[in-house]
Chains A and B, each alone.
Chain A
C-alpha cells in the first residue's frame, strides 16, 4: 500500500501535471515533414486557405441542389429553396450524403430480409429450389 500512497501524493501529482502542461504547449510536429494535401488544381491547402470556405460552400450547394431536384423540385424551386437556407443548413443537408440509404450496411440488411422472407414462404409452402 506504500506505493499507492506515494503515487497519490499531491506533490507528485502536481509535478506530473506541470510537466504534462509544458509538453502540451509544444506544438505537434507530426505533419511538418509531410507534403500537404492538394486540391484537384494541384494547389496545396495552405495556398488556397482563404478560398477553402468558398469552395466548400459551392460544392455543398451543388450536392443539395441536385438532391432537391431528385426529390422532384424544379430548378426554380431549388433556387428559391436554397435562397432561404443558411450556409449551416446547406452544410447539414450535404453532410447527410454518406448516411442516406444506410449505405452498404442498409443494402445488405435489405437483401438479407428479402432472402429471409423468400425462404420462410418456401418453407411454409413446403417448396424447394433445386438447382440442376
Chain B
C-alpha cells in the first residue's frame, strides 16, 4: 500500500514538474520533396562538393522510392568520390538489386571492384555492361582498364583505340583514355588509381 502511495506521489511530482515548465510544442514536419526532387537536390549537393549532405539526400530519395535505382548509383558515386570504395560497391550492388539490367550500375561496380583489386568480379560486371551497351565509350574504357590490370595490354590497347575513335576532342573522358593508351604503349603498368 505504501509503495502505491509512493508511486502516486512520484507520478504527481512528475506531472507538477512538467506543468511547471512550459510544455514544448510538438510540430510534425512533413517532407515536401518527392523521390525525384530528393535525387536532384542530392545531385546539386554532389556538384557543390557537399558530400555528406549529398549522401543523406540520395538515401532519402532511395528510401522514398524503393524501386528506383538511380539514387543508389548516385550514392555510390559520392562514396567513390570520397574514396570509400567498399561503400560504393555496396551502393552499386543495391542499385543492381533494384534494376539488374542497369549497365551504368554494372560499369561503376566494375570500376569500384577494380579499386579493391577484385579484378575477376570487376571483369564479370564490366563484360555484362559492355554486352548491354557495346557502343558506350565509358564501358569500353573501363573494360580496357581491367584488361590492362590483368596484363592483357594488347587487348586493352585495341579497346582503347576503339574508344578514342568515338570520343570527341572535348570529351572529358578523352584525356584519361589517352593517358591509359599512352601508358600501355610505353609498356608501363596501367594504374587504375
Interface centre among A38, A53, A72, A98 (most CB of B within 10 A): A38
A55 and B44 contact, Cβ closer than 8 Å, known pairs A34-B108, A126-B3: yes
Q: Which residue of A lies closest to B105 (CB)?
A: A35
Could you tell me if A40 and B70 are in contact, using CB atoms closer than 8 angstroms?
Answer: yes
Interface mask (B121-163 → A, CB under 8 Å = 1, otherwise 0):
0000000000000000010011001000000000000000000
| Chain B residues, CB < 8 A from A72 | 27
Shortest Cβ distance from residue A44 to the other chain B in the assembled complex, whole angstroms = 9
User: Given the interface contacts A40-B40, A49-B47, A56-B41, does A125 sit within 8 Å of B81 by beta carbon?
Assistant: no
A52 B108 Cβ-Cβ under 8 A: no
Q: Are B41 and A37 in contact (CB under 8 A)?
A: no
Majority SS of interface residues in chain A? helix
Q: Check: B87 CB closer than 8 A to any chain A CB.
A: no
Report if A39 contacts B (CB, 8 A).
Answer: yes
- Pick the most buried of B28, B42, B47: most chain A CB atoms within 10 A of its CB: B47
Contact assessment for B81 and A45 in the assembled complex, using a CB-CB cutoff below 8 Å: no
Query: Of the candidates B73, B83, B172, B193, which one forms a contact with A38 in the assembled complex, judged by CB atoms under 8 Å apart?
Result: B73
Closest Cβ–Cβ distance, residue A98 to chain B (whole Å): 5
CA distance A66 to B28 in the complex (A): 11
Q: Which of B40, B47, B77 contacts A34 (CB 8 A)?
A: B77
Q: Which residue of B lies closest to A96 (CB)?
A: B29
Given contacts A55-B40, A100-B29, A124-B7, contact A33 B47 (CB under 8 A): no
**A31 CB → nearest B CB, Å:** 6
Whether the Cβ atoms of A66 and B6 lie closer than 8 Å is no
Q: Please list the 6 inter-chain residue pairs (A to B) with the smallest Cβ-Cβ separation, ordered nearest first.
A: A56-B44, A40-B36, A66-B32, A32-B176, A125-B7, A37-B74
Given A40-B36, A65-B32, 17 more pairs with CB closer than 8 A:
A33-B138, A33-B173, A37-B43, A37-B77, A40-B39, A45-B43, A45-B47, A49-B47, A55-B40, A55-B41, A55-B44, A56-B41, A56-B45, A56-B48, A66-B29, A124-B7, A124-B10
Residues of B within 8 A of A (CB): 3-4, 6-7, 10-11, 27-33, 35-37, 39-48, 53, 56, 70, 73-74, 77-78, 80-81, 83, 104, 107-108, 111, 115, 138, 141-142, 145, 172-173, 175-177, 179, 193
